[in-house]
Amino acid sequence: MILVTGASGYVGGHLVRRLVDAGKPVRCLARRPDLLRGQVPASAEIVAGDLLRPETLASACAGVETAYYLVHSLGSGADFEEREERCAHHFADAAKAAGVRRVIYLGGLGDSAESLSPHLRSRQRVGEVLRESLSGVMEFRASIVLGPGSLSFEMIRALVERLPVLILPRWVTAQAQPIAIEDLLAYLTAPLDAPPDSGSHIFEIGGADRTSYEGLMREYARQRGLTRGMIRVPVLTPRLSSLWLALVTPLLASVGRQLIESIRHATVVRDQAAEHVFGVRPTGYAEAIQAALECEDADMTCRRWCGTPFSGRRGNYLVDSRSCFVPVARELAFRPVLRVGGAFGWYYGNWLWTVRGLMDRLAGGPGMRRSSRRAGTPRTGDLVDCWRVEAFDPEGLLRLKADMKLPGRAWLQFEVQEWQGGAMLSQTALFDARGVLGRAYWWILYPVHTMMFKGILKSMADAAVREKM
């Protein structure tokens, strides 16, 4: 049995899925189990427990051979250092009493000889507490983690996507050694292939090369095709920087301040032992950013949205998804989808589509050209006016990718599933907004798109009912 604490966090969530996919028995510790269900695979066991209440930890540790300690209290207030140390003591006592043979802890890089930030200092202190109480502790110290959803990656994304000009204080030039989430997971799971060791070890891990937050922002902008002005300023305190981050990124000011104070320190690998011991060959930060963007693309464009209406933002994507019940068989509900575009039209607002095509022609795009597909038989690559078929499943999926001139990338997806004696017909518009112009485009046209997409969905549903009659 493997116990994972911090399973609701970014690294913990990825780790649980990796372990379950590998066929490992996994148990997750959660203060509120109901909130964790749905975030982890169904086969993962979830037990209630709170690291600040030691009496709740015995059942979580029972029968466990390896435990992952991935919790932190960064956003919990000014006393987070004291809270983290208490949690570590409580966990170490419970693990020792239960006979846990190995604890794998994810800490932070940083030269302990320096005057570290409270966050980095606390990360290393937690490792000390675990090693003082337990044998068989393996501590991995990492720098910036790059992947869609990670704190650092989302901060970089928000700054570069939303600001045409970036103000760069001195803290963005400190050297770091970013690691891709996949490489981090490879390190965290590598010890499972070896028998537990009675000794404790510290391993420094990082990507293949060093850079700074400035370097990461420049590389992110390059890969997204964004031109960004960058102005260096000699003084911008962590407090002022954190308030600025709170305005333009998803970070809370308190979390941003602790993060900035840590960024000011160099977090680089000085001991290369981890690569030799575990055989992991990490990628560089450019490849890590590319992998993060590609992973997000695959997740969003391959996602099935049927029956789950959603409107809002996920990563770079702006999403508008809606569904309606159609009292006909799935095959009948899908027929109107197969006819969309070309000579048949778009069911609703055809004159608006004509205007949009003319605007696209003026901008140098293809406009509303005629379809190249045969009626009722879409194939990947077929043209549908200003769209191109990207995916088709005769069981109920048609995904179109825009060929129009846009400040980003756009998809329009139709799905049909059997639903309570009828069918659920869903339509999802996805827009990968590129920079400020992309977001402005989406929100300016949002009322028009909402009217058009609602009209298309309703008209398709009505057409399916008429076919049944």
Average pLDDT over residues 413-437: 93
Domain boundaries, the chain: 2-297, 303-468
Q: Looking at residue 343, what is its pLDDT?
A: 80
CA gap 177, 140 in Å, rounded: 14
Confidence of residue 181 (pLDDT cuts 50, 70, 90): very high
CB atoms within 10 A of CB 280: 17
Domain 303-468 has CATH 3.10.150.10: no
Average pLDDT over residues 36-44: 89
Average pLDDT over residues 223-241: 78
**Amino acid making up residue 444:** I
For the chain, the average pLDDT equals 88
Q: Looking at residue 261, what is its pLDDT?
A: 65
Are 241 and 177 in contact, with CB atoms under 8 Å apart? no
Q: Classify each residue of 340-379 as buried b or exposed e, where b means 16 or more C-beta atoms within 10 Å of its C-beta.
A: bbbeeebbbbeeebeebbeebbeeebbbbbebebeeeebe
Average pLDDT over residues 156-172: 84
Q: Looking at residue 233, what is its pLDDT?
A: 79
Residue 254 has pLDDT above 60, yes or no: no
CATH superfamily of the 2-297 domain? NAD(P)-binding Rossmann-like Domain (3.40.50.720)
Are 415 and 395 in contact, with CB atoms under 8 Å apart? no
Are 367 and 358 in contact, with CB atoms under 8 Å apart? yes
Beta pairing, strands 422-433 & 408-419: antiparallel
Residue 250 has pLDDT above 60, yes or no: no
Counting every residue written for the chain, the total comes to 469
Are 457 and 348 in contact, with CB atoms under 8 Å apart? no
Q: Looking at residue 374, what is its pLDDT?
A: 60
Residue 338 has pLDDT above 80, yes or no: yes
CA angle 79, 80, 81 (to 5 degrees): 95
Q: Looking at residue 255, what is its pLDDT?
A: 57
Q: Looking at residue 300, what is its pLDDT?
A: 85
Confidence of residue 249 (pLDDT cuts 50, 70, 90): low
Are 185 and 18 in contact, with CB atoms under 8 Å apart? yes
* β-sheet bridge partners, residue 230: 166
The 10s digit of each residue's pLDDT in 111-151 is 877 777 788 888 999 999 999 999 899 999 999 999 998 88
The 10s digit of each residue's pLDDT in 183-229 is 999 999 999 988 777 788 999 999 999 999 899 999 999 999 999 99
Q: Looking at residue 174, what is its pLDDT?
A: 87
Confidence of residue 168 (pLDDT cuts 50, 70, 90): confident
Question: Which residue did the predictor score with more confidence, 468 or 76?
Answer: 468
Confidence of residue 310 (pLDDT cuts 50, 70, 90): confident
The answer to which of 191-195, 241-245, 310-314, 365-369 has the lowest mean pLDDT is 241-245
Fold agreement between 2-297 and 303-468: no
Residue 76 has pLDDT above 60, yes or no: no
Confidence of residue 253 (pLDDT cuts 50, 70, 90): very low
The 10s digit of each residue's pLDDT in 371-423 is 665 655 788 888 888 899 999 999 899 999 999 999 999 999 999 999 988 99
Are 44 and 20 in contact, with CB atoms under 8 Å apart? yes
CA gap 367, 74 in Å, rounded: 51
Average pLDDT over residues 278-299: 94
Range 385-391, long-range pairs (CB < 8 A, 24+ positions): 385/341, 385/342, 385/353, 385/357, 386/356, 386/357, 386/360, 387/341, 387/412, 390/301, 391/302
